[in-house]
């Protein structure tokens, strides 16, 4: 379901659907939350975690240092595979799979080919000269001998051997090593070891690593011999390290692939780790597909593989050897032909009789996987392009302990119960219709929440010196050519012709705000200018990618752009961070900050980048304290550095909704200037720095996040059902109506239950419907001018004067409680 676009060299390649810049990290298909069969196909369309305008090329890294590391152990993005140069034939599967065939003959033939290649590599290895090496641990301890006094030797000693010197328990608990080499031995060669070429699945992997650190440190199989002196050896455990989880799930994906070959004779394509699990895509012809009945045999086969404790063996192969190994699998052949340059080497891994293209690393053996479950399946397409072969995807999850799987299963049930689509339907908040897919219809009570969120942000705007503006919904496409969005983003825009010219619905506000800035002559005294805009945005998402409120076509953002002088960056960023803190403290959500710095493909003056990054760092130090944030080197947008704000909800899921991004390029594209007040020739005008910032991101997505965060139990200030007045008997209805009117006059949502149900049933119904308060009225309350208060948790607060209750409600609203 991807789209094709031309790059600057006119070479056509597969790209992902462009998406919203304020994105949720916990995506369907990555953490495997509750989904229906209708939205299962959305997996391959989920968004990348970066700004819409950030060309995917800005994240590429071709330098030799990163190639040493191979960017191993990364999780899959929600894409479906590596990028390929376009080929003349879209359907390549052919008759490589005809029917389900357990343990097909080609598995044995592949093993025989592997054995021949392995013999050649052993002959090469025999020529290597083992030399003494030393290993430094994170605590500074240096090891150079085994417990028996045998010296550590390059080409012989592995991280597992080093771990055994410390303790056998550590060696058995570690999943993978992270190695920072002091130097390589003289006879080690990156190219010969298959480490100099490109990671074959690099484009299918989620980019969340520190590239600068990765250039020095490399994830390394525990059983793979070291090839030099080690400046730092870290032994990573599943429970405490994200890289260890990624490696563990990557190994589990290989086990899943082995089971699929054993049971069905599938032609495997790619099987990457995800943020919370893994999947494997298989070609099963045009008529076959996975079914839920396949889960149990798959799980049983994986259990057999785990019990057999198959070793994960790494083998370096030439391009020709790789093609020989995977003869008959057109998908692996296409990867090799496209991604492996002639005359170079790559790597494969073997466990049992499975042999797969892989950069690694992996766990020592399959016995490390103690718990495995097949979680769901879906259809997809090779490389995410619907013109290509249809593939079958099966997802899995695994853990080194059965108790972890039990906890995971319970959490999935909790997530299922909190799914915003279920809650919104049950509480009658939103609806969708086939006549406008991807655009929510906000029912009266849903609109109450939506408007409260906007009102909440607008209150902050008033206090923080923002000016609200209103901009057009449609623009001539010339605007988007000027901004640069048309080149990279046009397929994601709703466009149409008017009087022979092409126009488009706006997918973002930034270019329109630039036009407003340029409309007047600006002075340095005018800055900063803070333009805030809740304008309606439209993005032409593919229908298969639409998912509740987290992926829509029509939405609004609490979008604002700050135009400031360079010397004001720190002050404005600090203000934005303080704004963000107030918002998420109100929501009861915690957050983490990351500074994403200049990427390889950055545009603009490096000195300006450096100064801007320092200003961001200074602001973050003042806001969070030194050590209260982390650097994400090289992950900034091509147009400027940014602060990624990752917020955690009640289920400890991570969402990226708020953002603060600097932009040096749009002011250039729109020739934005301000008068500096200087009389010196050439210095009369300067360009402003543009700050993109949002607190909620899209209101739709934030609605979904908060719905699941609070589990549908909306706090009083934002609740669409605040008060239900319950008469004990019909004779008190008129008094109840008067109470309701008083609350309504003070802008609270109140209703009266005049049904014929018993008052106990009325109270219970109101609690189930999530009314924050139930006001029970009988003769005593009528006589005293009071109400008897109960909460939705069925706590009896007792009798209170109506006016006092109104004041209490006002206080809750003012304090956002």
pLDDT band at 199 (very low <50, low <70, confident <90, very high): low
Q: What is the pLDDT of residues 156-171, one digit of tens each?
A: 999 999 999 999 999 9
Coil, helix or strand at residue 296:
helix
**Mean pLDDT value across residues 253-280:** 96
692 assigned to active site: yes
For 26, 86, 246, 423, 674, the CA distances from 420, given in Å and listed in that order, are: 14, 39, 28, 5, 46
Mean pLDDT of the chain: 87
- Considering the chain, what percentage of its residues have pLDDT values greater than 70? 87
Q: For residues 320 and 334, what is the distance between their CA atoms, to the nearest angstrom? A: 13
pLDDT band at 522 (very low <50, low <70, confident <90, very high): very high
Q: Provide the pLDDT for residue 652.
A: 80
pLDDT of residue 485: 86
Task: Reply yes or no on whether the pLDDT at 469 is more than 70.
Answer: yes
Per-residue pLDDT, averaged over 217-228, amounts to 96
* pLDDT reported for residue 676: 94
Q: Which of 692, 693, 790, 792 is catalytic?
A: 692
Backbone angles phi, psi at 265, to 5 degrees: 70, 30
**pLDDT over 90, % of the chain:** 75
**Predicted confidence band at 752 (pLDDT cuts at 50, 70, 90)?**
very high
Higher pLDDT, 60 or 680: 680
Tokens 């509480």, residue located: 427
Minimum mean pLDDT among 109-118, 346-355, 599-608: which range?
A: 599-608
Annotated catalytic residue 539 = yes
The pLDDT assigned to 8 comes to 36
| pTM for this entry | 0.71
Q: What is the mean pLDDT of residues 804-814?
A: 97
- From the candidates 332, 368, 377, 539, give the one annotated as an active-site residue: 539
More confident residue, 11 or 685: 685
**Residue 54 — very low, low, confident or very high, per pLDDT cuts 50/70/90?**
very low
- Residue 774 is a catalytic residue: no
Using CA of residue 552, residue 558, residue 563, residue 564, what is the dihedral sign? negative
DSSP string, 507-532: S-SHHHHHHHHHTS-EEGGG--EEEE
> Over the range 244-255, which residues count as b (16 or more CB within 10 Å of their CB) and which as e?
bbbbbbbbbbbb
744 is catalytic: no
- pLDDT value at residue 83: 54
Which one is predicted more confidently, 203 or 393?
393
Task: Please name the helix (run of DSSP H) or strand (run of DSSP E) that holds residue 581, with its range, or none.
Answer: helix 569-587
116 annotated active-site = no
Rg (CA), the chain: 30
Provide the pLDDT for residue 36: 37
Catalytic residue among 559, 649, 663, 753: 559
Least confident of 350-364, 439-453, 637-651, 781-795: 637-651
**Confidence (pLDDT) at 635:** 84
Q: Provide the pLDDT confidence category of residue 23 given band limits of 50, 70 and 90.
A: very low
> Averaged over 517-543, what is the pLDDT?
94
Q: What pLDDT band is residue 632 in, cutting at 50, 70 and 90?
A: confident
Task: Check 49, 72, 412, 557 and give the catalytic one.
Answer: 557
Q: What is the DSSP string of 609-664?
A: HHHHHHHHHHHHHHHH-TTSSEEETT-SBTTB-EEEEEEE-TT--EEEEEEEEEES
- 110, 345, 488, 642: which is the annotated catalytic residue? 642
Q: How confident is the model at residue 197 (pLDDT cuts 50, 70, 90)?
A: low
Q: Can you give the pLDDT at residue 802?
A: 96
pLDDT band at 74; cut points 50, 70, 90: very low
Region 324-348: mean pLDDT is: 95
Q: Averaged over 479-486, what is the pLDDT?
A: 90
Give the model's confidence band at 200: pLDDT under 50 very low, under 70 low, under 90 confident, else very high. low
**Catalytic residue, candidates 510, 514, 707, 809:** 510
What is the structure's pLDDT at 386?
A: 82
26 pLDDT above the threshold of 90 = no
Reported as a pLDDT band with limits 50, 70 and 90, residue 82 is low
In the annotation, is 561 catalytic? yes
Mean pLDDT of 692-715: 95
| Helix, coil or strand: residue 405 | helix
For range 631-648, the mean pLDDT? 87
pLDDT at 62 over 50: no
Range with lowest mean pLDDT among 100-104, 512-516, 623-627, 636-640: 636-640
Q: What angle do CA 763, 749, 767 make, to 5 degrees?
A: 20
**Interatomic CA distance for residues 406 and 464, integer angstroms:** 47
Q: Residue 523's pLDDT band (boundaries 50, 70, 90)?
A: very high
- Give per-residue pLDDT as tens, 758-777: 989 999 999 999 999 999 99
pLDDT at 790 over 70: yes
Active-site entry in 362, 553, 561, 813: 561
Candidate from 205-214, 433-442, 708-717, 744-753 with smallest mean pLDDT: 205-214
Phi/psi-derived region of residue 503, left when phi > 0, alpha when psi is between -120 and 50, beta in every other case: beta
Using the predicted structure, report yes or no on whether residue 347 has a pLDDT greater than 60.
yes
pLDDT of residue 38: 36
The lowest-confidence range among 41-50, 339-348, 435-444 is 41-50
Instruction: Round to whole Å and give the CA distance between 40 and 37.
Output: 5
In this prediction, residue 85 carries a pLDDT of 52
Top-confidence residue, 444 or 18: 444
């Amino acid at each position: 379901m991807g789209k094709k676009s031309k790059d600057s060299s006119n070479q056509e390649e597969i790209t992902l659907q462009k998406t919203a810049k304020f994105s949720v990290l916990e995506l369907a298909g990555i953490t495997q939350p509750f989904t229906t069969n209708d939205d299962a196909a959305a997996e391959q369309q989920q968004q990348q975690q970066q700004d819409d305008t950030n060309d995917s090329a800005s994240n590429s890294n071709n330098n030799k240092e990163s190639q040493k590391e191979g960017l191993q152990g990364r999780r899959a993005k929600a894409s479906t595979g590596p990028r390929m140069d376009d080929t003349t034939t879209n359907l390549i599967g052919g008759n490589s799979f005809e029917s389900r065939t357990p343990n097909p003959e080609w598995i044995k033939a592949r093993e025989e080919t592997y054995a021949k290649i392995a013999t050649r590599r052993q002959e090469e290895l025999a020529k290597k000269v083992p030399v003494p090496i030393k290993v430094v641990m994170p605590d500074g301890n240096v090891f150079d001998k085994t417990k028996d006094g045998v010296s550590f030797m390059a080409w012989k000693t592995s991280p597992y051997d080093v771990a055994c010197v410390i303790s056998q328990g550590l060696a058995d608990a570690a999943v993978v090593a992270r190695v920072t080499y002091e130097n390589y031995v003289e006879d080690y060669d990156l190219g010969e070891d298959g480490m100099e070429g490109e990671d074959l699945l690099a484009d299918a992997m989620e980019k969340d690593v520190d590239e600068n650190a990765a250039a020095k440190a490399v994830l390394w199989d525990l059983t793979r011999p070291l090839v030099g002196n080690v400046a730092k050896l870290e032994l990573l455990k599943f429970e405490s390290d994200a890289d260890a989880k990624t490696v563990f799930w990557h190994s589990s994906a290989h086990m899943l692939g082995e089971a699929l070959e054993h049971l069905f004779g599938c032609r495997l394509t790619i099987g990457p780790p995800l943020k919370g699990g893994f999947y494997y895509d298989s070609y099963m012809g045009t008529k076959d597909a996975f079914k839920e009945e396949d889960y149990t045999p798959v799980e049983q086969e994986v259990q057999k593989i785990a019990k057999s404790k198959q070793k994960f063996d790494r083998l370096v192969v030439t391009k020709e050897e790789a093609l020989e190994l995977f003869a008959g699998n057109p998908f692996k052949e296409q990867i090799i032909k496209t991604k492996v340059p002639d005359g170079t080497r790559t790597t494969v891994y073997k466990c049992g009789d499975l042999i797969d293209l892989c950069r690694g690393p992996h766990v020592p053996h399959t016995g490390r996987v103690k718990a495995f479950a097949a979680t769901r399946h879906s259809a997809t397409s090779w490389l995410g392009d619907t013109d290509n072969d249809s593939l079958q995807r099966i997802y899995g999850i695994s853990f080194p302990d059965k108790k972890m799987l039990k906890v995971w299963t319970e959490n999935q049930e909790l997530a299922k119960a909190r799914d915003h689509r279920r809650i919104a339907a049950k509480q009658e908040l939103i609806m969708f219709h086939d006549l406008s897919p991807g655009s929510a219809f906000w029912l009266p009570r849903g609109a109450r929440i939506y408007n409260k969120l906007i009102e909440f942000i607008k209150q902050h705007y008033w206090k923080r010196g923002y000016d609200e503006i209103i901009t057009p919904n449609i623009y001539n496409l010339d605007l988007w050519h000027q901004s640069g969005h048309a080149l990279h983003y046009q397929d994601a825009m709703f466009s149409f012709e008017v009087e022979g010219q092409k126009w488009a619905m706006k997918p973002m506000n930034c270019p329109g705000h630039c036009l407003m800035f340029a409309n007047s002559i600006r002075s340095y005294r005018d800055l900063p200018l803070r333009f805030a805009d809740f304008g309606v945005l439209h993005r032409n998402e593919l229908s298969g990618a639409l998912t509740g409120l987290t992926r829509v076509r029509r939405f609004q953002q609490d979008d604002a752009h700050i135009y400031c002088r360079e010397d004001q960056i720190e002050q404005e960023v600090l203000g934005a961070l303080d704004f963000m803190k107030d918002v998420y403290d109100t929501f009861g959500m915690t957050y983490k900050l990351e500074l994403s710095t200049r990427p390889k493909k950055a545009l603009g003056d490096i000195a300006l980048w450096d100064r801007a990054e320092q200003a961001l760092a200074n602001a973050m130090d003042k806001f969070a304290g030194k050590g209260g944030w982390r650097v994400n080197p090289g992950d900034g947008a091509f147009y400027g550095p940014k602060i990624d704000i990752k917020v955690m909800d009640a289920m400890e899921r991570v969402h990226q909704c708020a953002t603060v991004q600097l932009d040096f390029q749009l002011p250039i594209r729109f020739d934005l200037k301000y008068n500096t007040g200087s009389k010196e020739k050439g210095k009369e005008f300067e360009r402003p720095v543009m700050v993109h910032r949002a607190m909620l991101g899209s209101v739709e997505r934030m609605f979904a996040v908060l719905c699941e965060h609070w589990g549908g139990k909306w706090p009083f200030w934002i609740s669409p059902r605040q008060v239900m007045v319950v008469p004990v008997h019909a004779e008190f209805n008129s008094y109840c109506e008067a109470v309701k009117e008083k609350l309504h006059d003070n802008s609270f949502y109140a209703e009266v239950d005049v049904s014929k149900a018993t008052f106990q049933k009325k109270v219970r119904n109101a609690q189930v419907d999530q009314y924050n308060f139930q006001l029970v009225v009988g003769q005593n309350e009528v006589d005293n001018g009071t109400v008897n208060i109960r909460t939705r948790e069925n706590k009896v607060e007792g009798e209170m004067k109506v006016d006092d209750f109104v004041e209490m409600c006002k206080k809750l609203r003012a304090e956002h409680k």
